[in-house]
Chain A
Amino acid sequence: MIEVENLTKTYGDKTAVDHVSFTVNKGEILGFLGPNGAGKTTTMRILTGFMPATSGTARIAGFDVATDSMDVRRHIGYLPETPPVYPDMTIESYLDFVARIKNVPAARRATSVTDAMRKTNLEDRRSELIKRLSRGYKQRVGIAQALVHDPDVIILDEPTVGLDPKQIIEVRNLIKGLAGTHTIILSTHILPEVSMTCDRVVIINKGKIAAVDTPQNLTSQLKSGQKVRLEVQAPADALKSALAQVSGVSRVQVEQLPSSAHSIVTVETAQGADIRSDIAAKITGSGWPLFELRGVSLSLEDIFLELTTDDATHAQPSVN
């Protein structure tokens, strides 16, 4: 449904998007993940025809975004970074306006508007002025606006920004419900969002694609190197040198808890080796009381940080 090839966008000497290529199949939800300024918004703006690419091609529903822009625009719904709403309009009249400029036939317009409001839970506030709405409601109006003409492709730039946790869940469910009949690209810098809603993830950093895969594959890919977390009552320095002697250990990080004599240790191991029992033996053999020992697998967050920061040591392990 969406084919992007070597898409590049430069502003002067700054490259915002650097030879990006990916495809999205019909009915799929693709997550665009990256830190702020990674080029997510620029890529989306090129796909929607808002700005042209410097080089490379993008096709949506078989139409080239540069040469068949009008056909592309008929097939997409787009939520920009800031919801494009007119503060002086009511929700209903605004959606009616959008339906008109998106060429929804007059006979279907009223139902289209009502459907979009129902999907985004805006029905009970339909005649309220948009300027009186909270940030979260404005965001929902923005999403409704992207759906109102029932487009094949929906492009959402940070759809859950500004929403409260309950609304975030609603929007995620809404997006998941749209998949299958609609092809969706959404961008976010919130990791759980990607693993919860997306079929595939594109991790983008500094304009370049760092990885494209399913959230599951990305997580398992980096599991090869294991981490072990320990809580031991022992002096930090002695603990560090003792653990470094265990074969298979690649890195040891010790943190002394301020309130007690306990230390929190993170041990990184070489690939494939399970040395949890060796570590336990070493500690009990040294006569230190062992309070906790567990294996830690890398989360999407670690993968993200590993791929997007130059210095991988910043990656903090989190517990699964």
Chain B
Amino acid sequence: MQSFYAIYRKEMGHYFVSPVAYIFIGVFLFLSAWFFDNYLGLAIEQALRMEMQGMQFGMPPDIDLPARVMGAFFGVLAFLVLFFTPILTMGVYAEERKRGTMELLMTSPVTETQIVLAKFLASFSLFVLMLLPTASYLVFMFLHSDPVPPWRLLLAGYAGVLLLGGSLLALGTFISSLTENQLVAGVLTFAAFLLLWVLDIGNSGGGSLGIGALLGYLSIIGHYEDFTRGVIDTSALIYYFSFMVLFIFLTVRSIDSMRWRRA
């Protein structure tokens, strides 16, 4: 446990002594805030237009503004996560191998599982730190809405982003453990993310086909959309948790196999 905490602390320190974490969080917050502002502006404009139309035709306006903004915002959040997480994970093992510090970790009384979990948890912590401030945008919107939408929607949305992010981080750290080159790890991770993303297209194209349905189920974004509508689906939970466990397990195996590979 002591070693686990030591590695976790070292990883967090590594993010925060260099400008990495600050730039990362700063850019992410700026972009997400910009998108949120845009969506909110658009939605309000649309709502006003609909209200005027409603007055003309004598019908009450029927628009759930917070739900619209949230749907769009969580969509773009997922998109930002897709771009940001490869940067977060590409160096996790690649750098350690290049510097030769992997040799220190692997000859210390620490298990591979401890190393992998500590590193995964550190990258996940940074991810949470990056994501948390964005909740303030939505909280403000909720407080100024009338009637106030159920908070469950907000929680479900963030549960979705966290699960999506955790899964991508698990996959990203696994890819990082395969190579000594950070850039290669980053590019491969991004390619893998995109592939998981577009699997959904197969589904929407020929939904009735068995393969299309299967691809749709494997798509990492398909399960996410339920969360953004406030639905927590058990099958989505199972999907994301098994995704994380699978890639954490594969990372442990990959680290272990380094001993057999020519270092």
Q: Interface of A with B (CB < 8 Å)?
A: 11, 45, 48-52, 70, 73-74, 76, 78, 80-89, 93, 97-98, 100-103, 106, 145
Q: How far is the CA of A82 from the CA of B99 in the complex (A)?
A: 8
- The 5 sampled A-B contact pairs (Cβ below 8 Å) are A78-B107, A84-B101, A89-B13, A100-B5, A101-B7
Q: How far is the CA of A36 from the CA of B7 in the complex (A)?
A: 33
Q: What's the minimum C-beta distance from A77 to chain B, rounded to whole angstroms?
A: 9
Q: How far is the CA of A78 from the CA of B9 in the complex (A)?
A: 22
A98 in complex: contacting residue of B17, B103, B104, B260, CB < 8 Å: B104
- Interface range, B side: 20 to 34
**When A51-B259, A51-B263 are in contact, do A100 and B109 touch as well, CB less than 8 Å?**
no
User: For residue A74, which residues in chain B have a CB less than 8 angstroms away from its CB?
Assistant: 109
Q: Closest residue to A41 on the B side, CB-wise?
A: B263
Is B104's CB under 8 angstroms from A145's CB?
yes
Is B10's CB under 8 angstroms from A48's CB?
no
Q: Majority SS of interface residues in chain B?
A: helix
Q: How far is the CA of A189 from the CA of B234 in the complex (A)?
A: 62
Extra A-B contacts (20), CB below 8 Å, given A82-B99, A93-B13: A50-B107, A51-B260, A52-B260, A70-B111, A73-B109, A80-B103, A81-B100, A84-B100, A84-B101, A86-B14, A88-B18, A89-B10, A97-B10, A100-B5, A100-B6, A101-B3, A101-B6, A101-B104, A102-B108, A102-B109
Is B259's CB under 8 angstroms from A86's CB?
no
A88 in complex: contacting residue of B3, B14, B262, CB < 8 Å: B14
Is B6's CB under 8 angstroms from A50's CB?
no
User: For residue B103, which residues in chain A have a CB less than 8 angstroms away from its CB?
Assistant: 45, 50, 78, 80, 84
Is A73's CB under 8 angstroms from B104's CB?
no
Q: What's the minimum C-beta distance from A197 to chain B, rounded to whole angstroms?
A: 23
Q: What's the minimum C-beta distance from A214 to chain B, rounded to whole angstroms?
A: 29
Q: How far is the CA of A142 from the CA of B222 in the complex (A)?
A: 49
User: For residue B2, which residues in chain A have a CB less than 8 angstroms away from its CB?
Assistant: 100-101, 103, 106
Q: How far is the CA of A103 from the CA of B13 in the complex (A)?
A: 20
Q: How far is the CA of A82 from the CA of B7 in the complex (A)?
A: 20
Q: Closest residue to A16 on the B side, CB-wise?
A: B262
Q: Closest residue to B7 on the A side, CB-wise?
A: A101
- Per-residue CB contact flags for chain B residues 9-48 toward chain A (1 = under 8 Å, else 0) read 1100110011000000000000000000000000000000
For residue B126, CB closer than 8 A to chain A, the reply is no
**When A85-B101, A89-B13, A100-B2 are in contact, do A50 and B18 touch as well, CB less than 8 Å?**
no
Is A88's CB under 8 angstroms from B17's CB?
yes
Q: What's the minimum C-beta distance from B115 to chain A, rounded to whole angstroms?
A: 9
Is B17's CB under 8 angstroms from A73's CB?
no
Q: How far is the CA of A61 from the CA of B169 in the complex (A)?
A: 40
**When A73-B107, A101-B3 are in contact, do A86 and B100 touch as well, CB less than 8 Å?**
no
User: For residue A85, which residues in chain B have a CB less than 8 angstroms away from its CB?
Assistant: 99, 101
